[in-house]
Structure 1
């Protein structure tokens, strides 16, 4: 692929809105949300408010697609992946590139398993502090996208095309030596800060300064490092410390996606974070008591508010 000029984004949450807003301002680039029937009805007006500015972003259903987009960005939560398979089937053509900005370690393999002929780039969305309420998004830091191929080929033409699009859009991107290590590093971060924020209600500012929040976050991350090493992934103790420069740049009032889910009484991604880690730890006989406790607390709190709904 020489260049990308059409982008479909599946998922109009915080990341979907953030990237749609940036990409739609890119010259010679057509951007739209792709939504299933129920979601389409609620989004079709296409009105979004991003950092207090109203923006119009095209929203389409699968039936309204007239051609396959050059790029599909998957930006739903992990527990919605199965639901969007029909949308992916409608969107993916022979030359379509697919990338996922989901947290966790399973979304790319999920897409590859169901669409074995698709071109899937691995991706990590890092360092944004976006907060969404309905169709309103606020953020102070767009963060960056870390992208790579399954075989870590930095010269892959599809990877270069996506990188060139991000450069044109003003979105910061990076191609690492090992994308799988990057995916696990971000997962380690999610397992630490997302879960602890969900249990405590703490925004990023608390993690900037409070030693108790930091200690609990680091303990959950440390268990992730042990499991990663058992899985053959090169995570290390110093990777925990390397998170702090990024954390400290996030807005103090910003909140993790899991804390936002808790506050809005939505299903959380705890099964894809600590829950998935617990599964892998059991395979290797590694105790992960901190994550077991965090997942239990989140699961109980989620059960209570979902029962009330």
Structure 2
């Protein structure tokens, strides 16, 4: 199986490195020759704990990766893992679409595009600009932070959930799941990918803004004053919005998942916090922002999600939404 990786942030580099160590030899798309050279020289992984490594004896590894700057090169893959930030999705999808538009019509089929992006509707540009039937959504609870262009701190190898797809994509998904498990990235198939996407988005909508605003790692979030009340309010608002979108989500499993994720990625700084520290844009528009926007669309109120959305926008230098 030929695997492409679109995006060289924390999750993209983690999956690329683990797959490379397992012999899968994925191909990473980067934006510049210098970045590609850096990946070829090796990504440096530092495991926060023995449990964060598939090899309990390893605390550090350097993994040279295959890399390209040409989007057309990914067209020869069977599966491309979309690991860009949600705010990069529009440009990344347009870049692929432009490069692939000149491919021969009678050539091999385009790859399955499997989104591992955070948030709600982050994959929409790929569905709009590329064949929508080729786009599917997975979720991962792996925890990692990029400390530099080729330096990664791995806090936990949480589970990944891949969608159950119709033939012929079902065979690709099964092969990918086997490769990820062999790479030490625990992976299962989940029949309801939309439910899994919402569940992950709600979990992130609780942990990420609270951790980012407090400036703390995930494991410390549940100990913050007022955490239980805030988490309950975020989840209740999100559940009401999901119901308006035709999806029933019970509260108790979501509350449990939040605490489990905090524990599993206790040593991890969430991406929202690392982005704020680095002065980068954040994915808040696709987390609490998405919940608030969808609430408005359905005539619902989501004041806690709205307030967190605006607070992060203010911290990141973005314009508050009205």
- Structure 2 stretches of 5 or more lacking a match? 47-59
Q: How does 1:151-170 map to 2 (within 5 A)?
A: 156-170=170-184
Residues 225-234 or 159-168, more deviating: 159-168
Identify the residue that residue 55 of structure 2 maps to in structure 1.
Answer: none
Identify the residue that residue 307 of structure 1 maps to in structure 2.
Answer: none
Residues 160-169 or 194-203, more deviating: 160-169
Q: Alignment partner for residue 304 of structure 2, among 262, 283, 290?
A: 290
Task: Provide the TM-score with structure 2 as the length reference.
Answer: 0.83
Q: Say whether the 8 Å CA contact 1:68–1:96 is kept in structure 2.
A: yes
TM-fit CA distance, 1:84: 1.3
Q: Alignment partner for residue 13 of structure 1, among 9, 15, 26?
A: 9
Residues 196-205 or 109-118, more deviating: 109-118
Deviations 1:38-76 (A, max 9, x none): x44334232321113222112211178396112211111
SS at match of 2:313: helix
Aligned pair 1:212/2:226, yes or no?
A: yes
Q: Say whether the 8 Å CA contact 2:139–2:160 is kept in structure 1.
A: yes
TM-fit CA distance, 1:249: 3.0
Identify the residue that residue 62 of structure 2 maps to in structure 1.
Answer: 54
Aligned pair 1:140/2:136, yes or no?
A: no
SS at match of 1:130: strand
Residues 162-171 or 289-298, more deviating: 162-171
Q: How does 1:83-98 map to 2 (within 5 A)?
A: 83-89=91-97, 90=99, 94-98=109-113
Distance 1:14 1:162 in 2: 19
Deviations 1:1-46 (A, max 9, x none): xxx2x2111111110111011111223x22121123xx44334232
Identify the residue that residue 315 of structure 2 maps to in structure 1.
Answer: 301
Distance 1:220 1:207 in 2: 14
Q: Say whether the 8 Å CA contact 2:29–2:74 is kept in structure 1.
A: no
How many pairs are equivalent?
A: 296
Task: Provide the TM-score with structure 1 as the length reference.
Answer: 0.86
Distance 2:90 2:317 in 1: 22
RMSD of aligned Cα (Å): 2.6
Q: Say whether the 8 Å CA contact 2:138–2:197 is kept in structure 1.
A: yes
Identify the residue that residue 27 of structure 2 maps to in structure 1.
Answer: 32
SS at match of 1:187: helix
Aligned pair 1:80/2:75, yes or no?
A: no
Q: Say whether the 8 Å CA contact 1:35–1:87 is kept in structure 2.
A: no
Distance 1:86 1:178 in 2: 28
Distance 1:186 1:66 in 2: 27
Deviations 1:171-227 (A, max 9, x none): 211112311111100011111111111222121122243352343233222211111
Q: Say whether the 8 Å CA contact 2:78–2:172 is kept in structure 1.
A: no
Cα distance, 1:260–1:25 mapped onto 2, change above 3 Å: same
Distance 1:56 1:113 in 2: 34
Distance 1:87 1:207 in 2: 37
Distance 1:53 1:81 in 2: 30
Cα distance, 1:70–1:177 mapped onto 2, change above 3 Å: closer
Identify the residue that residue 49 of structure 2 maps to in structure 1.
Answer: none
